[in-house]
Structures are given as structure tokens and as C-alpha cells.
Amino acid sequence: MNLNQVTIAVTNLARSIQFYETLGLRRIVQDDRYARFVCPEGGSTFSLELVDRAPTGFPAVVYFECLALDETVEALKARGVQFDSEPRDEPWLWREARLRDPDGHPLCLYFAGGNRVYPPWRIKDA
């Protein structure tokens, strides 16, 4: 099994398309209520679905890995993207920067390298 796609609900499709294209995702499908993007690295896709009201409750956090995290954050800030937190090294050995999309969905741009799948505390024989 391979996680290929995540879809989130948005209240303004055009605004959200512009935001995710600013992050570097490339739009491959669109109609009046839906848009799908391919991530710039790897084969994963990410989708937006237009809804009348943003969902409430505990939101999922969408993670996008960036090989050059600090440079990516600086480039996005130069394009007007606002971040909740600057890149920082976390105790779980990932470097992360946090932001929100126009509907308030929490996003994390990160670099984990080998620690994404092979952290020192990985379950043996996993």
C-alpha cells in the first residue's frame, strides 16, 4: 500500500489553487468544485474539494517534505507566504516550519532525510 493522495475541503477554490501553486504544486486536474495537484518531487498528489463551510474539529496536518527547507521557506516568504514558525530542529530529528493555508488548514514544510523512515528509535524488523 502507498499513500498517494490527500484531499482537503476549501471554501474558495481559486484562492486555494493560487496558494498551493505558490507552494510549488502543479495543477493537473480542475473542475468547478475540485482541483488536483502533483507534488514537485515524487509521485504523490494533493487535492482540494470546494465546500460551503470549512470543517471544524481536530484538523489533520499536511506535511510536505522539502530537500532545501530553509531556502524554500525564504523563497515562499519572498512571495508573500506567511509562516507561523520559522524552520527549527525538532527533538524527533526533523527540521520543520509551520504555516496555514487560506482556510486555516495546518501545514508543515519539513526535512527529515533518512529520519523520516529510519529514525534511531525505529521498531526493529519494521
At residue 60, the pLDDT reads 85
pLDDT value of position 1: 58
Domain ranges of the chain: 5-116
Q: How many C-beta atoms lie closer than 10 Å to residue 105's C-beta?
A: 19
Which residue in this structure is represented by grid cell 482556510?
A: 103
Question: Per residue in 65-114, pLDDT tens?
Answer: 999 999 999 999 999 999 999 999 999 999 999 999 999 999 999 999 99
Evaluate whether 48 touches 35 at the Cβ level (below 8 Å): yes
Instruction: Count the Cβ atoms, other than its own, within 10 Å of residue 112.
Output: 18
Strands 34-38 and 45-50 turn out to be antiparallel
Tell me the pTM: 0.86
Q: What is the pLDDT of residue 63?
A: 94
Share of the chain above pLDDT 70, in %: 98
Q: What is the pLDDT, as a whole number, of residue 59?
A: 79
CATH match of 5-116 with 3.30.420.140: no
pLDDT by residue (tens digit) across 32-59? 999 999 998 888 999 999 999 877 887 7
Q: How far apart are CA 110 and CA 95, in angstroms?
A: 5
Please indicate whether residue 1 or residue 98 has the higher confidence score (pLDDT): 98
